Amino acid sequence: MVKAVIMAGGRGERFWPQSRIAIPKQLLPIVSEKSMLQETLARLSPLVRAKDVLVVTRSDLAKEVGRQLPELPAENIIQEPMGRNTAACIGLAAVSIEAREPDAIMICLPADHVIGEVRGAGTRDNKRFLEVLRVASKIARQRDSLVTIGIKPTRPETGYGYIEIGSKCKTQNAKCRIYKVKQFVEKPDKERSGEFVKAGRYFWNSGIFIWRTSVILGAMKEYMPELFAGLEKMRKALGTPEESRAIIEVYDSLESVSIDYGVMEKANDVLVTEGDFLWDDVGNWQASERILLKDGQGNVCRGETYKLDTNDCIIVSDKGLVAALGVSNLIVVRTPDVTLVCPKARAKEVKELVRRLAEDAKLRKYIE
């Protein structure tokens, strides 16, 4: 049995001001008319039925998640009382799945990625993605391995982590190459990222993982014993009146650690399947350029906009008109209560801007 876990607890700060604490990036229609979460569920549908999909999200987002995914059974929305990074999120999902169906294969994937080529009218071709996912699930089942998907890099990118591949896996598949992971590599600087692309032995770390629940829980027991102990506490409370109190208590005490750092970098038998499809983590506004179509002047626009002598800009309006005159390489985002203006090259710093607004009692409302 294959279960999918969509991790939908992110804050999406770099997509401010559209992305807000109350309705972050994954719940917004950033790349199409559907929200990124809806896109993620739709993308999985040929492989995993809605009843086998779990969404892990923050409690305060659960209602909106349910509204956006009416096909999902209510009990498939797992609420985290607070964000504690991907290790805790995946651990909670694993024990929840085990409680329902012991030893299933679980596919873990973020709610806010874009996958597949644009196929006109906003739809995307996910065929290759699903094929790779099928291979990865098969391998995970056959070999009891931790499996990840590595994306063949198409450009030097300093915003992603990388996976250095080792030897080919003995178990191979005609549809997709599988390697042992030599090591996980932190986000590189510009020079190294260029070398990575040339070398051919480095993949982007997609943040998509496939494994048996028993295998990841075993790895957590070994490499993250404190988390594992917390998971045991939560497991015992699942389905009892104590459930939500146990989850709050455990979460409150957990360290915020990524699955990459907590498990993947430490485990021995980690495999990577080569993902040769379009993939983007849509990390900030600049990503829009890679995902959406440009006009003749290199602008990417959404909503009501008017451009005069304006090129290579990203212009988004949720409501009302954005008029740009004589500007280049600028991001302009207009929402009902905020306008953001920033050069494309500084898109990553929007996170810092949001952090500062959070500290300002008068302006905090604009990030909430």
What is the binding site for a copy of itself (CB under 8 A)? 17, 304, 306, 308, 317, 319-327, 330, 332, 334, 336-343, 346, 349-350, 352-353, 356-357, 360, 363, 366
Closer Cβ to a copy of itself, 20 or 141, answer by number: 20
Closer Cβ to a copy of itself, 146 or 331, answer by number: 331
Closer Cβ to a copy of itself, 124 or 344, answer by number: 344
CB 324 within 8 A of CB 313: yes
Q: How far is the CB of 336 from a copy of itself (least distance, A)?
A: 7
Q: How far is the CB of 26 from a copy of itself (least distance, A)?
A: 22
Closer Cβ to a copy of itself, 206 or 310, answer by number: 310
Closer Cβ to a copy of itself, 28 or 62, answer by number: 28
Residue 86: how many CA atoms within 13 Å on its side-chain side? 18
Based on its alpha-carbon atoms, the radius of gyration of the chain, rounded to whole angstroms, reads 21
Q: How far is the CB of 131 from a copy of itself (least distance, A)?
A: 41
C-alpha torsion sign, points 246, 252, 255, 260: positive
Q: How far is the CB of 343 from a copy of itself (least distance, A)?
A: 5
Q: How far is the CB of 286 from a copy of itself (least distance, A)?
A: 13
DSSP H or E run through 262:
none
The answer, yes or no, to whether the previous bond of 17 is cis (omega within 30 of 0) is yes
Closer Cβ to a copy of itself, 195 or 337, answer by number: 337
Residue 53: is it exposed, middle or buried by C-beta count within 10 angstroms (0-12/13-18/19+)? buried
CB 178 within 8 A of CB 273: yes
CB 277 within 8 A of CB 116: yes
Q: How far is the CB of 323 from a copy of itself (least distance, A)?
A: 5
CB 300 within 8 A of CB 288: yes
Enumerate residues 6+ apart whose C-beta is below 8 A from 183.
163, 164, 265
Q: How far is the CB of 112 from a copy of itself (least distance, A)?
A: 22
What is the pairing mode between strands 178-185 and 279-280?
unpaired
**In residues, how long is the chain?**
368
CA–CA gap between residue 323 and residue 132 (Å, rounded): 43
Closer Cβ to a copy of itself, 21 or 248, answer by number: 21
